[in-house]
Amino acid sequence: MEIDVEPVESIDDVDTETLPSSVDAAEYVLYGGKGGVGKTTMAAATALASAGNGTETLVVSTDPAHSLSDTLETTIPEEPARIHDEIPLYGAEIDPEAALKDGPFGMDGGGNPLAGMLGDEVADPLGGSMPGADEAAAIRLLLEYLDDPRFERVVVDTAPTGHTLRLLELPEMLDSMMGKLVTFRERMSGMLDMFGDEPKEEEIDSLQEFSARIERLRGLLRDPELTDFRLVMVPEELSVRESERMLDRLDEFGVPVGTVIVNRVMQEPTEVAELDPDWFVAPNHTDCEFCSRRWEVQQRALSRSQDIFRGHNVRRMPLLAEEVRGEKLLRVVAACLAE
């Protein structure tokens, strides 16, 4: 069966200079949500628009399954480096396993902080890394990047919901654990000396310094003037439910959610932003039964999300026919987010 499709211009013909390009965002922007809802797309678009305004911007991914490089269609290094020749855009994809080899959570025990303090056999007789060590390593690097004076804005593409919540749980857990480690080290120093193990004050100092930086992270996440935690979801019942649970958990941590983005809504992009209608293929809710049914499902989810997220800045991101990759379409996404 042949289907008539109205001709549209290629995305290559999109004049990005005519697109609205502004970023209404805090100094730190974190995108969270379940896997596959479009966090990476939103983070890349926000960072691109931010840097396009001349703001020194770093976009960093903490998701172990990185897709930032694919979305921006450029190589993203493990450590912050400039990734655009014309605008001040920097990028980094944190490798938790590599981060375990350095810092307080990457000592001789392969990611077990007890190993650096007490030795491998005492710290972990069974071997292996401490549970949660990869998240701890990621948060250590993230702290460094947030404090980097080179950047005026940092945009974070977080790991899926479960990983993100573990990251948010770490500051409280590590703060308590480090205090206990330091106390234990001090109490056991005499006994360890008997076996020829000299206390390493630099290890204690390192842990105490890291604990202080964790306290700073806690303060940043809870300050709506500095940080905007943006929750990304899709207009489906299961996504709404999971987003509601995450909103409740973030509230327990004292982390305010400033913006909720409903992605892949089956409506015309021109209804969301000032865009040329000739650039896009819009869903046909009248003659396409599939589109009509999907729109009914989305409308029910949108209606519930309006009630759940009342009081938040809710933004809709239309579903685009093309896969969102590359600078042109990311600027279209940024234009929709800016409205």
pLDDT at 277: 73
Indicate if the pLDDT at residue 88 is higher than 70: yes
Position 173 scores a pLDDT of 66
CATH topology of domain 17-338: Rossmann fold (3.40.50)
Four-CA torsion 176, 209, 195, 110, nearest 10 degrees: 80
Give the Cα separation of 82 and 160 in Å (integer): 26
Q: Is 58:146 a contact under the CB 8 Å cutoff?
A: no
Q: Which of 93, 40, 39, 26 is nearest to 246 (CA)?
A: 39
Q: What percent of the chain has pLDDT over 90?
A: 32
pTM of the model: 0.79
The predicted pLDDT at position 121 comes to 38
Percent of the chain with pLDDT over 70: 65
Mean pLDDT (the chain, rounded): 77
Categorize the per-residue pLDDT at 83 as very low, low, confident or very high, splitting at 50, 70 and 90: very high
* Mean pLDDT lowest among 69-73, 219-223, 227-231: 219-223
CA dihedral 71, 67, 93, 325 (to 10 degrees): 0
Q: Scanning the structure block, which residue is given the tokens 């390493």?
A: 200
Mean pLDDT of 269-295: 83
**Distance in angstroms (rounded) separating the CA atoms of residues 316 and 269:** 10
pLDDT tens per residue across span 138-177: 677 778 888 889 999 999 998 766 656 666 666 566 666 6
Which backbone phi and psi does 260 adopt, to 5 degrees? -120, 125
Helix axes 237-252, 161-194, angle to 10 degrees: 40
pLDDT category of residue 116 using cuts at 50, 70 and 90: very low
- Which residues 6+ apart lie within 8 Å of 112 measured at CB? 123, 124, 128, 129, 130, 133
What is residue 128's predicted lDDT score, i.e. its pLDDT?
Answer: 45
Q: Are residues 228 and 26 in contact, defined by beta-carbon separation less than 8 angstroms?
A: yes
For residue 289, the surrounding DSSP H or E stretch is helix 289-308
pLDDT of residue 1: 38
Mean pLDDT, residues 22-51: 89
- pLDDT digit string, tens, across residues 176-195: 666 666 666 666 665 555 54
Residue 183 burial (10 A CB sphere; 0-12, 13-18, 19+): exposed
